[in-house]
Structure 1
Amino acid sequence: MSYRIRPDRALDDEVHKAAAHQLGRAMAELTDRPQGLHEAVHAARKNIKRVRALYRLIAPIAREFQQDENDRLRNAARTLSGVRDATALIEVSHYLQTTATSEDELHALARVTGVLTTRRDRIAQEETDLEDKARAAVDTCAEAREALKDASFDCGRRDTARLFQKSWRKNAHKAAQALSECHAEAAHAESFHDLRKRSQDYWMHHMLLRDVWPAAMHAKQLEAKALVDVLGRYLDMSILADVADREPHLFNGSDDHARLLEAIISRQQTAREEALERAGWVFADKPEREARTIRHLWLEAAG
């Protein structure tokens, strides 16, 4: 069952199928663990994000349900974030290596990756309750599926079109606000975090409604996903810089600490510029106009 809402079918059935499938996949990942527990956690968190994005899309007709389930699923994902966050720093250190400007910097960043890997393994060993957290997350997803069974999203064709118009406009306005704040000279990382959240919703909402205009929606989906990736790299570099400042003992007084910070400052500026350029393209249309287009496309596809 793919992650989409088909315009020629009842909204209620489509939402139930899509959400139940993602919740079931999260439960299966955490139970079966085909690539180990840590990869299972990463995969399950992605499934949970998809459900939360879906619920935000239909929030205007199920506000209380959306808020309750968003809280439930967000809290479940947070309990699983410890080792994943440490792994993300290793991944961004690999990225820094691929952009090294000299042999000395490359070797220093390779040593940093080793340090971060040791740190991740230590955190994993200390997180002795991860098994319990994984089982609790499975139970939470099961509870979310039960709550879903009792929820109704019955909506006619025109009401569904207006629903998507309203949700699309709201998310686009939030994205525009976050993008405006990111352009400020003293923009905080929180603004880029907000822009990434809105971009993730935008990406996933294009996936959900892709049947209304497959080629165009897929193209925009890819652009939004690329923006999410760049913003993720930018934010992970901020977190890595914070870790380097908070835990300088990891580097044993070597100059690797200084080289790491220099590399982050340089690559972050590049990532910031790329993110703002991509965001300007992704969110180029005015929210009201794009939302109206989504409504018209839905009505035409559902006709």
Structure 2
Amino acid sequence: MPYAITPEDESVESALRRIAREEAAHALEMVRATGDLAPRVHEMRKTVKKLRGLLRLARPVLAVASAENAVLRDAGQGLSGLRDAAVQLATAESLSATIPSDRREALLAPFRAAAAHHDARAEAELLPPFADVMDSLILRSEGWRLRREGWDALEPGLKATWAAARRALKAARREPSPEALHEWRKRVKDHWYQARLLRPIWPAMMDPHIKAADDLGEVLGLVNDLAVFRDRLDAADLAPVLKSEAKDLATLRHAELMARALPLGRRLLAGDARALTDRWGTWWTLRDAA
């Protein structure tokens, strides 16, 4: 079934348990699959984020949500070195696409080496502990109990996440530091996952909203990748002139991305949390109407 609370689910509580079980099972399939590791790790990390988005939606009414979120956060961080090395290589490749081939190859060399190093040790060191976390989550999720049901179980978490995303936008506009932009991205991603969970309330209206949140999250993800790239660049064994050139390219790309992110964020996050939850709550009530 989809990553969504559907009319076929008996209750919100049963829906959350089902989604957790299905997502964890998908992650286990990726652990046990064969072939290229990079796309499998990407899927595992996506699963962790989807599960954490689910838990943030339920956090005000699920007593174990914070503890479960902490377990998943640690599991995701365990995989981050694998994924981050691949992302930084992709960032370097994208930024250097227009420079002469000799300088491009010199720039890419340390990032290629880092990606190869992480891949070599991944399965032995990181994948079995991750699988244990997913197995345990499947068992524990059967005991999840919500303090409320129906829209009353969903509204508090949705409202809290929307309000947090709006605060993060304001902070990023005041001071667009890497830390502020990273926080904004996380809160936008939280809302994106929650909107996906609620898509069945009115797909025709929810789909454009979900796409806008996805687009903003992707742009802010690229901004974050550039910030990490600049940090890695400082430590890379590269000639100073090449480092300077790469930083200039990153600065230009950052400006281009922010010119897209800020207007999109202001449009997406217009209106306070009450307005959003009142509207979506009405759609929830009418979701089975002909």
Residue in structure 2 matching 1:298, options 281, 284, 287: 284
C-alpha distance in 2 between matches for 1:12 and 1:170: 19
2:232 is aligned with 1:239: no
1:108 is displaced (CA, Å) by 3.4
- SS in structure 2 at match of 1:4: coil
Aligned to 1:167: 157
2:75 is aligned with 1:76: yes
C-alpha distance in 1 between matches for 2:104 and 2:269: 35
Aligned to 1:120: 115
Contact 2:146–2:153 (Cα < 8 Å) also in 1: no
Contact 1:227–1:275 (Cα < 8 Å) also in 2: yes
Residue in structure 1 matching 2:166, options 171, 176, 201: 176
Aligned to 2:135: 142
Q: Which moved more, 1:128-137 or 1:267-276?
A: 128-137
Give the 5 Å matches for 1:190-269: 190-247=179-236, 249=237, 251=238, 253=239, 255-269=241-255
- SS in structure 1 at match of 2:5: coil
User: Scaled by the length of structure 1, what TM-score is found?
Assistant: 0.88
User: Scaled by the length of structure 2, what TM-score is found?
Assistant: 0.92
Q: 1:41 to 1:140 in 2, by over 3 A?
A: same
- SS in structure 1 at match of 2:3: coil
Q: CA RMSD in A?
A: 2.0
Task: Report sequence identity in percent.
Answer: 21
Q: Give per-residue Cα distances to partners, 1:87-133, cap 9 Å, x unaligned.
A: 111122233245x4xx54x76345423431122213444xx364232
C-alpha distance in 2 between matches for 1:129 and 1:205: 31
Q: Give per-residue Cα distances to partners, 1:57-98, cap 9 Å, x unaligned.
A: 112210x31111101111111111112111111122233245
Q: 1:129 to 1:96 in 2, by over 3 A?
A: closer
C-alpha distance in 2 between matches for 1:47 and 1:129: 18
Contact 1:26–1:141 (Cα < 8 Å) also in 2: yes
C-alpha distance in 2 between matches for 1:117 and 1:92: 11
C-alpha distance in 2 between matches for 1:229 and 1:92: 14
Letter in 2 for 1:60: P
1:17 is displaced (CA, Å) by 1.1
- SS in structure 1 at match of 2:126: helix
Contact 2:199–2:206 (Cα < 8 Å) also in 1: yes
1:19 is displaced (CA, Å) by 1.0
1:163 is displaced (CA, Å) by 2.8
1:296 is displaced (CA, Å) by 1.1
C-alpha distance in 2 between matches for 1:113 and 1:229: 23
Letter in 1 for 2:145: S
Aligned to 1:280: 266
Give 5+ residue unaligned stretches, structure 2.
Answer: none
- SS in structure 1 at match of 2:176: coil
Q: Give per-residue Cα distances to partners, 1:159-198, cap 9 Å, x unaligned.
A: x2133222221111101111011111x4321111111111
C-alpha distance in 2 between matches for 1:189 and 1:130: 31
Q: Give per-residue Cα distances to partners, 1:203-228, cap 9 Å, x unaligned.
A: 11111111111011111111111111
Letter in 1 for 2:178: A
Give 5+ residue unaligned stretches, structure 1.
Answer: none
C-alpha distance in 2 between matches for 1:92 and 1:38: 15
Contact 2:82–2:115 (Cα < 8 Å) also in 1: yes
Contact 2:201–2:283 (Cα < 8 Å) also in 1: yes
Q: 1:97 to 1:213 in 2, by over 3 A?
A: farther
C-alpha distance in 2 between matches for 1:284 and 1:107: 47
1:263 is displaced (CA, Å) by 0.2
Q: 1:58 to 1:109 in 2, by over 3 A?
A: same
Q: 1:109 to 1:202 in 2, by over 3 A?
A: farther
